């Protein structure tokens, strides 16, 4: 599993020529579906992209947040929409992993969608509530093992990259018993992390940056092969001994 989330813009496949291939496209507003609530990295990337698309194509590209089921609700909505290019979506790595984690999905990510472009690669950071007196990964592991079943890891949803990263981390270190608290997206998860309702989580660097910069949460490691450009002082997991 890559330690970062790949964001793609996707559009419905059509048997007949779709509006994307027509010279007049777009002739009306385009809906950009995001399967997470506002405030997460997928939402932020979509909102950064939309004004440029609106300016380039001289039509409005409007963000429509449809959170739930680790983005499955939004993806199902797009899959069932008219395949005319006027309902597109910005998705995260969950779009790829959901098919292995959720039985009976109402859409096929390969059959029902066509990729347009990769927008961003965003690294996960391991962050904690500042009240948790840990500054390194080793200190966090020691604390969790000393308090089995008492440390709560939040996530942006069951099967999300933040959830899978935490499970992978637990498997790597062995013997860690934590509480998993899934949310419908990054925004709600950050609210409870800052309030101390949860203690730690894997969070995408783009969306958690406002809170790390203000000290509302503390970053202790980057899930990347080398230090990130945005957080050059933050050690990687490898540098932290993992």
The model's pTM is 0.77
pLDDT higher than threshold 60 for residue 79:
yes
Q: What is the pLDDT of residue 138?
A: 96
Portion of the chain with pLDDT greater than 90, in percent: 71
Q: What is the pLDDT of residue 175?
A: 77
8 Å CB contact between 78 and 90: no
Q: What is the mean pLDDT of residues 134-150?
A: 96
8 Å CB contact between 177 and 150: no
Strand partners of residue 121: 6
Pairwise CA distance, residues 28 & 2, whole Å = 37
Mean pLDDT for the chain?
Answer: 89
For helices 72-79 and 94-101, what crossing angle results, to 10°? 100
pLDDT higher than threshold 60 for residue 73:
yes
Q: What is the pLDDT of residue 167?
A: 94
Q: What is the pLDDT of residue 23?
A: 62
Residue 6: pLDDT band (50, 70, 90) is very low
Q: What is the largest CA-CA distance in the chain?
A: 64
For residue 176, give the nearest of 202, 204, 203, 150 by alpha carbon: 150
pLDDT higher than threshold 70 for residue 152:
yes
Pairwise CA distance, residues 22 & 11, whole Å = 14
Q: How many CA atoms lie within 13 A of 134 on its CB side?
A: 21
Q: What is the pLDDT of residue 28?
A: 95
8 Å CB contact between 98 and 70: yes
The model's pLDDT over 153-163, given as tens digits with 9 standing for 90+, comes to 999 988 888 99
Show the CA angle centred on residue 140, arms to residues 151 and 157, nearest 5°: 50
Over the Cα atoms of the chain, what is R_g? 19
The model's pLDDT over 86-98, given as tens digits with 9 standing for 90+, comes to 999 999 888 988 9
Q: What is the pLDDT of residue 77?
A: 96
Q: What is the pLDDT of residue 8?
A: 52
Token pair in block for residue 109: 């990510």
Q: How many CB atoms lie within 10 A of CB 148?
A: 11
Q: What is the pLDDT of residue 10?
A: 56
pLDDT higher than threshold 60 for residue 14:
no
Tokens 């959830």 map to which residue?
A: 163
217 versus 1: which is more confidently predicted?
A: 217
């Amino acid at each position: 599993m890559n330690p970062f989330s790949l964001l793609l813009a996707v559009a419905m496949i059509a048997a007949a020529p779709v509006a994307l291939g027509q010279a007049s496209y777009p002739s009306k507003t385009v809906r950009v579906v995001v399967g997470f609530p506002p405030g997460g990295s997928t939402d932020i990337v979509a909102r950064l992209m939309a004004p440029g698309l609106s300016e380039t194509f001289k039509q409005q590209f409007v963000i429509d947040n449809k959170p739930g089921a680790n983005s499955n609700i939004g993806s199902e909505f797009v899959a069932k929409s008219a395949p005319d290019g006027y309902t597109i979506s910005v998705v995260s790595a969950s779009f790829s992993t959901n098919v292995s984690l959720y039985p009976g999905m109402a859409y096929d990510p390969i059959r029902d969608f066509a990729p347009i472009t990769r927008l961003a690669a965003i690294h996960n950071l391991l962050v904690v509530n500042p009240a948790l007196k840990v500054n390194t990964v080793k200190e966090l592991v020691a604390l969790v093992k000393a308090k089995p079943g008492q440390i709560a890891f939040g996530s942006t949803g069951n099967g999300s990259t933040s959830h899978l990263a935490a499970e992978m981390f637990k498997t790597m270190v062995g013997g860690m018993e934590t509480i998993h608290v899934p949310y419908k997206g990054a925004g709600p998860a950050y609210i409870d992390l800052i309030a101390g309702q949860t203690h730690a989580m894997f969070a995408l660097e783009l969306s958690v940056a406002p809170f790390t910069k203000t000290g509302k949460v503390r970053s202790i490691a980057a899930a990347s092969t080398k230090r990130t450009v945005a957080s050059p002082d933050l050690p990687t997991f490898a540098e932290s001994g993992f």
